[in-house]
Amino acid sequence: MQRLIDAFINSVRAFRKLAAHEKAFQQELMLLALALPAGWFISVSWRGYALLIGAVLLLIMVEVLNTGIEAACDAISREFHIEIQLAKDCGSLAVLISIVIAGGVWGIALIERLIGAPI
């Protein structure tokens, strides 16, 4: 049980640090705050609502992992290394892919709401 408590404490510490200092994380938290009520009105089912919110949470999760990759790379060296650049670029690509996924999920949900039938 102590491991779970320690993991929770570590997670809260990371959340606070990211919420206070990482602009992208702050923007995604605001997006989540907007998505929670908007998703309720856009979705046509509970499953759809879960998918909409899940897509935003996926984006936040990938952003957290990207920030972790960047922090680890910066801790190793601040000098240019092609391998470090690749690691950071891959993290950035993962965020971009998650943005495309979230945008696609929300776009499909909006279309379903507007035409009144599932696609």
Token pair in block for residue 41: 């009105």
- pTM of the prediction? 0.91
Q: Is 81 annotated as a binding residue?
A: yes
Tens digit of pLDDT for each residue in 54-110?
Answer: 999 999 999 999 999 999 999 998 888 999 999 999 999 999 999 999 999 999 999
Q: Is 89 annotated as a binding residue?
A: yes
Closest CA to 42 of 109, 117, 115: 109
CATH topology of domain 22-118: Helix Hairpins (1.10.287)
Q: What are the sequence ranges of the domains in the chain?
A: 22-118
Per annotation, catalytic residue among 63, 102, 106, 109: 63
63 flagged as catalytic: yes
52 and 39 Cβ atoms separated by less than 8 Å = yes
Query: Who's near 101: CB < 8 A, 6+ residues apart?
Result: 55, 58, 59
Q: Is 83 annotated as a binding residue?
A: no
